[in-house]
Amino acid sequence: MTGRAAPDPGLPRRVADVVAGIPPGRVLSYRDVAELAECRSPRLVGTVMARNPTGDELPWWRVVTVQGTLADHLQAEARDRYREEGTPLREDDRHLVRVDMDHALWTPDPPGA
């Protein structure tokens, strides 16, 4: 026995539902998605999104690190999508896209609100 918990079969759907609900021009961090999807780890959210077992077309560019960044290989496409949506951006010292988390972070309504 490895001591690992059994995989949560409902997690991919919960992650997909949270990500699909992020409005254009706004973002959530992986940590925020993990909390809203009742997931134990922001890293696991990234894994679920990369594997995309639901097959849904998700707005992946709306989920960023808490610093407002994405992996380097996603930068070009994300920049175009952010500009189309009017997402507030900052340029970092490497001239890569960084979301302005003070202005772009989305706060969803609590359940039942």
For residue 85, give both structure tokens.
């949506």
pTM: 0.87
CA–CA gap between residue 68 and residue 70 (Å, rounded): 7
Alpha-helix residue ranges (DSSP H) falling in 9-90:
11-20, 30-36, 42-51, 75-85
Task: Note the pLDDT tens digit of each residue in 53-104.
Answer: 988 999 999 999 999 998 888 988 999 999 999 999 987 666 678 999 999 9
Return the percentage of the chain with pLDDT > 90, whole number: 69
**Res 6: pLDDT:** 57
Tell me the mean pLDDT in the region 19-29: 97
